[in-house]
Amino acid sequence: MTDVRPAMPSGPAADAAPSAPMVETTELARDYRTQGGTVHALRDVTLRVGRGQLVAIRGRSGSGKTTLLSLVGALDRPTRGSVVVDGLPVSELAESALVDFRRRRVGFVFQTFGLLPILSAAENVEVPMRLVQTGPRERDERIRELLDLVGLGGRGEHRPYELSGGEQQRVAIARALANRPALLLADEPTGQLDSLTGRSIMALISHLVRSEGVTAIVATHDPMLIDLADRVVELRDGQVVDGGG
Ligand code: ADP
Ligand code: MG
């Protein structure tokens, strides 16, 4: 009962060689046009992230971390350049294909957890599986497996308000992994947590990278968490200043 992941739909894209990077951005740029002029949020970011790595994206507020994660997760479109994830040219895909990409191939974790307050922990984890029409028996099994994995076995019936911040973020991580994505994107997942809890969340992500084989990109400006990453990429003013390549 270790690795039971099915070949489809969560396996790598058919055109992705196992040795190909999980994420490849090429001269990626995103400009925002505002009343005050154009903001160059990301400039010429060329980045390769190997499979099974935990990569931390570090940089001050405003350095482009959220913009980069949004482009990699196809929540946003680049102004220039390209993004390939697991062999899929996501910056080229039509919106209909992107819906499927976001549901099946990436999992998102945000600073504010984003759990639905009227649903229990288990029901929150279930939502992404309902969206891809996973059957009820498989959903129940996966929910149990995931809640155990994040250390919340037995808390499935609890509503978010009955859980601490760290526990809510664990539920959000379980939810992000529900459809066995190849890639986990976390945007300041510890930003609302005290430092000890934040570290345990980063340690959990690190553990999941090893045990589930998922690739994780975590934006953080917390220097205390950096040592848990396999690699650190530093952004400044929308450019990679360290750790690219
Ligand atoms: P970080 O996540 O590192 O704090 P962001 O990616 O959120 O940085 O922002 C990078 C830059 O782009 C900042 O200067 C920010 O003000 C700007 N920016 C982000 N989103 C928008 C937007 N929707 N419209 C205009 N400017 C934006
Ligand atoms: Mg941000």
Q: How far apart are CA 193 and CA 195, in angstroms?
A: 6
- The position carrying tokens 């992941």 is 5
Closest residue CA from atom 5 of ligand 1: 64
Question: pTM of the predicted model, to two decimals?
Answer: 0.92
- The position carrying tokens 């919340």 is 152
Taking domain 44-242, whether its CATH number is 3.40.50.300 is answered by yes
pLDDT, tens only, 177-211: 999 999 999 999 999 999 999 999 999 999 999 99
CA distances to 19, 85, 97, 225 from 195, rounded to whole Å, are 36, 31, 39, 9
CA dihedral of residues 101, 131, 216, 29 (deg, nearest 10): 40
pLDDT, tens only, 52-74: 999 999 999 999 999 999 999 99
Length of the chain: 245
- CB atoms closer than 10 angstroms to residue 136: 10
Distance 92 CA to ligand 2 centre (A): 24
* Ligand 1 contact, 75 CB (< 6 A): no
Q: How far apart are CA 158 and CA 10, in angstroms?
A: 29
Q: How far apart are CA 88 and CA 84, in angstroms?
A: 5
pLDDT value at position 16? Answer: 60
Q: Tokens for 206?
A: 């690190």
Provide the pLDDT confidence category of residue 224 given band limits of 50, 70 and 90: confident
Closest residue CA from atom 23 of ligand 1: 32
pLDDT, tens only, 142-153: 999 999 999 999
* Ligand 1 contact, 128 CB (< 6 A): no
Cα 1–chain centre separation? 25
Domain ranges of the chain: 44-242
